[in-house]
């Protein structure tokens, strides 16, 4: 019986970490599925770094988590119907985004009030996912993959789909960027200045759904926030400059994913665990550094 | 709620004794009005907020919108922006229907505060006032290389307006880490950076301590002296009383506009409120309105 990740035990024997970096890298990338995982993980990291930064700014991490749980019945339903899980991830996450936007209060500036709507959607999504799982009883390894992540079986087609989606999503975000920033920090003034705040928010939720679907491939639907929110929150703790924060968020997401993949490969433990742990360690360090920086500034000011 | 669609409380029906008290007065024979309201009515859903609002605000005037909570003061500002429908009468803003010239209007909604979780600098917030509505994502590095002159002009414009509101010292700190008064100054800078002809502010003095109230009020007076029309919703008229050209008083479905001395009188307010109200003037020039239905405690002119 393979471990939770579905890891084939015969590979683990060959993968021993050494002090020879080039040998390690060679070991890491010797199999096509690992190369696919690295490329796909990199694409997902870039997308999550950017879109997650806005999620943190907008205070929509709960919506992000809910979109991930909405992706769960999507993936399990797709498998039950014999479709690729990717179809389910994207279809349900995007539909969930529309549902959240449609059921939320219409006035701009009342975002914080939609948590009840979001919670209701999350509950029904989990229930529906469990229902699909019960329909094809027995495939429990793929259940744990859905929930906690796996990187085995990322095919070249998957990589292509992820890339196309990421390019489209980031293209839309490039058009949306400045008004989205405005609507995120100051919705009432943005509305008065002519920003279609509701449309921008809906589009953003759809992009968030796409990012969630991409990240779910690696982290599983329950650990999506590890990739979507943790690097962005770390970046936001370190800088309040939007451009620097976005770049930092992407960089941290890449480090988290690639580090997590490598750690999973060499330790034979689930990738979801490693991605989350690396990300969280960075977050704790950043918060500590920010607190130390503030104390230092205060001392400089009072001195 | 008593409604007065006939505009019972117009300027020509005002208490004449109030006029003795040094009104700065609306200048006669001025050019096209910044705001021209005739018999304007406002609804919130099925409920009529007010009717029969007649007012003419000319360029560079400093105007306060006064009245009890829920009277429709904030709604009136949103009507001026075209964000709330006009339920009756005619309303012209900057010579056109509301919403047509919003790029010439700076707006400060009611009681916004940013908590420490909002990780964006004050200067970024102000810059959004320049071009936040435009599509696209500016990359600072690219802009500095390709559109050097424009980037430089914009940077100076943002810096100047921040200096003008006296926020230079903290504009580069995260907005959530500065005090309420400092946030308010940065938000005024954001509204001003568009170089508006009309500035709409919803209770900008609320929740500020006294020195900050006086500081912001003085700032607004200087802005209006520079030719920007300032319309401010206020709960307490006293910090700005000395600067006002006009007040628009909205109470119980009726509205009354005119010079402060002419509008804020015992007779006018008693009629608007439909119950005896007394307007007292302290020796230092402050106004005290007593006996309002909703004013259990001290409640100054609004």
The total of other beta-carbon atoms located within 10 Å of residue A135's CB is 12
Inter-chain CB pairs, A–B, below 8 Å: 95
Q: How far is B125 from chain A (nearest CA, A)?
A: 8
Residues 38 through 57 of chain A touching chain B, CB cutoff 8 Å: 56-57
The total of other beta-carbon atoms located within 10 Å of residue B148's CB is 10
Q: What is the pLDDT of residue B128?
A: 94
- Least CB-CB distance to A182: which of B103, B109, B133? B133
Radius of gyration (Cα) for chain B, nearest Å?
A: 20
Domain ranges within chain A, ordered by starting residue: 15-302
Question: Which residues of chain B neighbour A242 with C-beta distances below 8 Å?
Answer: 120, 124
Average pLDDT, chain A: 86
- The distance of Cα B59 from the centroid of its chain, to the nearest Å, equals 14
| Contact status of A174 with chain B (Cβ, < 8 Å) | yes
Interface probe for B, chosen from A178, A204, A286 (most Cβ of B below 10 Å), is A178
Question: Which residues of chain A neighbour B135 with C-beta distances below 8 Å?
Answer: 175-176, 178-179
Starting from the edge strand earliest in sequence, which strands make up the sheet with B35-44, in order? B47-57, B35-44, B88-93
pLDDT over 60 (residue A188)? yes
Q: What is the dihedral of CA B132, B100, B86, B55, to 10 degrees?
A: 100
Question: Which residues of chain B neighbour A192 with C-beta distances below 8 Å?
Answer: 81, 83, 102, 105, 107, 109
Helix/strand/coil (H/E/C) assignment for every residue in chain A: CCCCCCCCHHHHCCCCCCCCHHHHHHHHCCCHHHHHHHHHHHHHHHHHHHHHHHHHHHCCHHHHHHHHHHHHHHHHHHHHCCCCHHHHHHHHHHHHHHHHHHHCCCCCCCHHHHHHHHHHHHHHHHHHHHHHHHHCCCCHHHHHHHHHCCCCCCCHHHHHHHHHHHHHHHHHHHHHHHHHHHHHHCHHHHHHCCCCHHHHHHHHHHHHHHHHHHHHHHHCHHHHHHHHCHHHHHHHHHCCCHHHHHHHHHHHHHHHHHHHHHHHHHHCCCHHHHHHHHHHHHHHHHHHHHHHHHHHHHHHHHC
- Least CB-CB distance to A192: which of B81, B124, B174? B81
Q: What is the pLDDT of residue A3?
A: 42
Q: What is the pLDDT of residue B235?
A: 81
User: Cα(A194)–Cα(A191) distance, rounded to whole angstroms?
Assistant: 5
C-alpha pair distances (Å), A23 with each of A206, A263, B53, B255: 42, 15, 81, 82
Single out the residue of B110, B87, B95 nearest to residue B40, CA to CA.
B87
pLDDT over 70 (residue A97)? yes
The total of other beta-carbon atoms located within 10 Å of residue B238's CB is 19
Q: What is the pLDDT of residue A143?
A: 76
In this predicted complex, what is the ipTM? Answer: 0.83
Question: What is the full per-residue pLDDT of chain B (302 aa) written as tens digits?
Answer: 344 443 333 333 333 333 322 233 334 444 578 999 999 999 998 899 999 999 999 999 999 999 888 899 999 999 999 999 999 999 999 999 999 999 999 999 986 778 888 889 999 999 999 999 999 988 877 877 888 888 899 999 999 999 999 999 999 999 988 988 899 899 999 999 989 999 999 999 887 888 888 888 999 999 999 999 999 998 888 888 889 999 999 988 889 999 988 888 888 888 888 788 888 888 887 888 787 555 433 344 44
User: Cα(B201)–Cα(B145) distance, rounded to whole angstroms?
Assistant: 37
Considering the four listed CATH numbers 1.10.3470.10, 1.10.3720.10, 3.40.50.720, 1.10.287.180, the one that applies to the domain covering A15-302 is 1.10.3470.10
User: Cα(A100)–Cα(A106) distance, rounded to whole angstroms?
Assistant: 11
Q: Are B178 and B170 in contact, with CB atoms under 8 Å apart? A: yes
**DSSP, residue by residue, B222-283:** HHHHTT-EEEEE-S--GGGGGG-SEEEEEETBEEEEE-HHHHSSHHHHHHHHTS--EEEE-T
**% of chain A at pLDDT higher than 90:** 47
Quick: pLDDT tens for B209-256: 888 888 889 999 999 999 999 999 988 888 888 899 999 999 888 899
The total of other beta-carbon atoms located within 10 Å of residue A197's CB is 24
Single out the residue of A53, A250, A299, A228 nearest to residue B119, CA to CA.
A53
Residues with Cβ within 8 Å of residue B280, at least 6 apart in sequence: B287, B288, B289, B290
Q: Count CA atoms within 13 Å of residue B115 on its CB side.
A: 4
DSSP SS3 for B55: strand
Q: What is the pLDDT of residue B223?
A: 92
Residues 210 through 249 of chain A touching chain B, CB cutoff 8 Å: 236-237, 239-243, 245
- Least CB-CB distance to A177: which of B108, B137, B190? B137
Categorize the per-residue pLDDT at A111 as very low, low, confident or very high, splitting at 50, 70 and 90.
low
Against a cut of 0.90, is the pTM above it?
A: no
Quick: pLDDT tens for A112-126: 567 888 899 999 998
Radius of gyration (Cα) for chain A, nearest Å?
A: 20
User: Cα(B75)–Cα(B191) distance, rounded to whole angstroms?
Assistant: 19
Q: What is the pLDDT of residue A110?
A: 55
pLDDT over 80 (residue A287)? yes
Quick: pLDDT tens for A36-77: 999 999 999 999 999 999 999 998 899 999 999 898 888 888
Residues with Cβ within 8 Å of residue B123, at least 6 apart in sequence: B158, B162, B171, B172
Q: What is the pLDDT of residue A140?
A: 53
Q: Are B199 and B106 in contact, with CB atoms under 8 Å apart? A: yes
Quick: pLDDT tens for A2-43: 344 444 444 444 467 778 888 888 888 888 888 999 999 999
Residues with Cβ within 8 Å of residue A178, at least 6 apart in sequence: B128, B131, B132, B134, B135, B136, B137, B138
List phi, psi (to 5°) of B70.
80, 5
Question: Which residues of chain A neighbour B233 with C-beta distances below 8 Å?
Answer: none
């Amino acid at each position: 019986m393979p471990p939770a990740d579905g890891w084939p035990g015969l590979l683990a024997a060959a993968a021993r970490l050494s002090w020879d970096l080039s040998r390690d890298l060679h070991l890491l990338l010797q199999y096509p599925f690992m190369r696919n995982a690295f490329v796909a993980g990199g694409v997902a990291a870039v997308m999550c770094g950017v879109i997650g930064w806005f999620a943190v700014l907008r205070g929509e991490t709960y919506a992000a988590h809910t979109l991930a749980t909405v992706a769960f019945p999507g993936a399990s339903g797709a498998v039950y119907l014999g479709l690729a899980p990717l179809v389910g991830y994207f279809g349900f996450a995007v539909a969930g985004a529309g549902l959240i936007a449609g059921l939320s209060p219409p006035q701009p500036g009342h975002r914080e009030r939609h948590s009840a709507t979001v919670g209701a959607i999350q509950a029904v999504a989990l229930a529906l996912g469990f229902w699909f799982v019960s329909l094809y009883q027995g495939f429990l390894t793929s259940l744990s993959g859905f929930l906690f992540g796996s990187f085995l079986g990322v095919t070249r087609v998957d990589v292509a789909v992820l890339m196309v989606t990421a390019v489209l999503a980031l293209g839309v975000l490039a058009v949306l960027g400045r008004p989205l920033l405005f609507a995120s920090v100051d919705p009432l003034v943005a509305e008065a200045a002519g920003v279609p705040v509701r449309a921008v928010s809906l589009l953003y939720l759809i992009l968030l759904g796409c990012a969630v679907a991409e990240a779910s491939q690696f982290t599983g639907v329950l650990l999506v926030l590890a990739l979507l929110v943790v690097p962005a929150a770390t970046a936001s703790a370190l800088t309040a400059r939007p451009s620097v924060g976005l770049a930092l968020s992407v960089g941290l997401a890449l480090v988290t994913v690639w580090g997590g993949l490598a750690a999973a490969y060499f330790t034979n433990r689930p990738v979801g665990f490693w991605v989350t742990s690396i990300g969280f360690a960075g977050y704790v360090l950043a918060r500590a550094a920010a607190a130390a920086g503030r104390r230092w500034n205060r001392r400089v000011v009072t001195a | 709620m008593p409604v007065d669609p006939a505009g019972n409380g117009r300027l020509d029906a005002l208490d004449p004794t109030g006029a003795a008290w040094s009104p700065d007065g609306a200048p006669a024979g001025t050019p096209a009005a910044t705001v021209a309201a005739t018999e304007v009515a406002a609804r919130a859903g099925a409920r009529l907020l007010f009717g029969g609002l007649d007012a003419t605000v000319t360029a560079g005037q400093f105007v306060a919108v006064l009245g009890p909570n829920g009277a429709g003061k904030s709604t009136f500002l949103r009507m001026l922006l075209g964000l709330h429908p006009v339920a009756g009468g005619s309303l012209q803003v900057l010579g056109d229907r509301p919403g047509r010239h919003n790029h010439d209007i700076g707006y400060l909604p009611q009681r916004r505060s940013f908590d420490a979780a909002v990780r964006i600098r004050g200067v970024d917030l102000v810059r959004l006032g320049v071009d936040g509505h435009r599509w696209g994502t500016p990359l600072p590095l690219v802009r500095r290389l390709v559109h050097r002159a424009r980037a430089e002009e914009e940077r100076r414009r943002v810096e100047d307006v921040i200096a003008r509101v006296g926020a230079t010292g903290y504009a580069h700190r995260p907005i959530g880490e500065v005090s309420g008064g400092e946030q308010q100054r940065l938000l005024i800078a954001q509204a001003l950076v568009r170089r508006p002809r009309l500035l709409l502010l919803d209770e900008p003095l609320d929740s500020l301590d006294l020195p900050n109230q006086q500081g912001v009020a003085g700032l607004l007076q200087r802005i209006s002296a520079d030719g920007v029309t300032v319309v401010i919703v206020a709960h307490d008229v006293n910090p700005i009383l000395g600067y006002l050209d006009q007040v628009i008083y909205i109470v119980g479905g009726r509205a009354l506009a005119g010079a402060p001395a002419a509008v804020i009188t015992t007779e006018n307010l008693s009629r608007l409120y439909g119950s005896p109200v007394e307007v007292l003037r302290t020796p230092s020039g402050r106004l005290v309105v007593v006996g309002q239905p909703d004013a259990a405690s001290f409640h100054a002119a609004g």
